[in-house]
Amino acid sequence: MTVVTDNPKNEVIECACDQQKPAIDLQDRRWKLVNLTMKKHNYSPKALIETLHVIQDSFGYIDMDAMRYVAQQLRVPVSKVFGVVTFYHGFTCKPTGEHTLILCTGTACYVKGNDKMVEYMKQKHNLDPNQTTSDNKLSFMTARCVGACGLAPVMILDGQIVGKLGVEDMQAKIEEWLNHANQ
């Protein structure tokens, strides 16, 4: 992170955390989408906002590791990425719930009936996309195509991509989370 100090020369000091290696799983299809976006723009710093949108849409939030990774790839200071993420309302740094269910709302997943899942979350848990239960146990988010269309309908359960699941599977997973939280 770039830190401007109160020194007579107005030196800009690069913080060591800019150099930290971010924990990114490059085999994750979502990161492949992010990398494709940056590559398409030749890793230009101008790709920053679009890249952040892809991360937000694919993961549901943009954490510090993601910010560091993008900063390194696009050769911009982490402080700049952090500033953009925290300035725009469309970006969030983390899900607020203890557990996060992200539902892909891309075309292939829609065709496979993910609208029933959106409806289930509304009826059963009173959650619209990007909302968290009042006890902070469960965040429900949506993402655009996460690059796993062959597994449609796809959801991401606490960061893990799973596919070909129905409403009953979703229900079982949520109950497991909520019951475990109550123990």
CB nearest ligand FES: which residue?
Answer: 106
* Site for ligand FES contains 164 (CB under 6 A): no
Query: Is residue 165 part of the contact set for ligand FES (CB under 6 A)?
Result: no
Please give the sequence-ordered ranges of beta strands (E in DSSP) within 21-137, or none if there are none. 99-104, 131-132
Alpha-carbon span 58 to 30, nearest angstrom: 6
Residue 101 as a binder of ligand FES (CB under 6 A): the answer is no
What whole-number distance in Å separates Cα of residue 151 and Cα of residue 173? 18
Stretch near ligand FES under the rule CB under 6 A, chosen from 58-66, 81-89, 90-98, 145-153: 145-153
Residue 167 binds to ligand FES (criterion: CB under 6 A): no
Q: What is the dihedral of CA 34, 36, 37, 41, to 10 degrees?
A: 140
Q: Which position among 145, 155, 156, 174 is part of the footprint of ligand FES (CB under 6 A)?
A: 145
Q: Is 152 in the site for ligand FES (CB under 6 A)?
A: yes
- Segment near ligand FES (CB under 6 A), from 70-78, 83-91, 126-134, 144-152? 144-152
Residues with Cβ within 8 Å of residue 39, at least 6 apart in sequence = none
Given 85, 149, 156, 170, the residue binding ligand FES (CB under 6 A): 149
When the beta carbons of 83 and 159 are compared against ligand FES, the nearer one is 159
Should residue 162 be labelled a site residue for ligand FES when binding is judged by CB under 6 A?
no
129: helix, strand or coil: coil
Cα dihedral sign, 11-16-17-19: positive
Distance between CA atoms of 87 and 17, rounded to whole angstroms?
Answer: 21
Q: How far is the CB of 158 from ligand FES (least distance, A)?
A: 18
Name 65's Cβ contacts closer than 8 Å, sequence gap at least 6: 22, 23, 24
Q: Which two tokens stand for residue 143?
A: 């993402």
108 binds ligand FES (CB under 6 A): yes
Binding of ligand FES at residue 33 (CB under 6 A)?
Answer: no
Which residues lie near ligand FES (CB under 6 A)?
A: 104, 106-109, 145-146, 148-149, 152, 154
